[in-house]
Amino acid sequence: MNRFLSQVTKKVDAKGRVSVPSVFRNVLMRLNIDELYVFQDFIFPAISIAGPEVLERFERHIDQGDPFSMDANKMSLLIHGGGVFMKLDGEGRLVITDFIRDFTGIEDQVTFVGRGDHFQIWEPSALSRMQDETRQERIDKNIRST
């Protein structure tokens, strides 16, 4: 499988490292991704993690318009100013840096969430709240349409 699916919660160790779930590491290996593009999600209080091709896709989107436009500049703030490159260590761990902690509120636990072509890391209770809210919105929408 070449998609990131499911979710797994892991503990952050005393040195600020967390082991990326093997199901996600396996996808990274299959897709031959060793350098990770790690960026602040555009909507959620989560960090998105993908291969460099996602950054390239975002940059192509900017290049389609006027690079001096307000939209292009705002997009650059998000994809460049809100992103870093990272690598997993030799044991498949990711360091939870201040860049990640400050944006997500992650402390001692991380929930990894598959999002198809990328995965995210969330503070577990924030993810739970968002999933509950999203489910309730879907229920309410279905009730209104019947």
- The CATH number linked to 69 is 3.40.1550.20
Does residue 20 fall inside a structural domain? Answer: yes
- The residues near 145 (Cβ < 8 Å, ≥ 6 apart) are none
Q: What percent of the chain has pLDDT over 90?
A: 89
Is the separation of the CB atoms in 121 and 110 below 8 Å?
yes
Q: Report the number of distinct structural domains present in the chain.
A: 1
- Quick one: three-class SS letters along 54-114? HHHHHHHHHHCCCCCCHHHHHHHHHHCCCEEEECCCCCCEEECCHHHHHHHCCCCEEEEEE
Does residue 23 fall inside a structural domain? Answer: yes
Does residue 100 fall inside a structural domain? Answer: yes
Distance from CA of residue 97 to its chain's centroid?
Answer: 14
Domain that holds residue 71: 7-144
Does residue 87 fall inside a structural domain? Answer: yes
Is the separation of the CB atoms in 123 and 106 below 8 Å?
yes
Does residue 78 fall inside a structural domain? Answer: yes
Q: What is the pTM of this model?
A: 0.91
Does residue 1 fall inside a structural domain? Answer: no
Among 48-62, 63-77, 108-122, which is the least confidently predicted range? 63-77
- At residue 99, the pLDDT reads 95
Does residue 2 fall inside a structural domain? Answer: no
H/E element holding 58?
Answer: helix 52-63
Does residue 56 fall inside a structural domain? Answer: yes
pLDDT (mean) for 85-107: 97
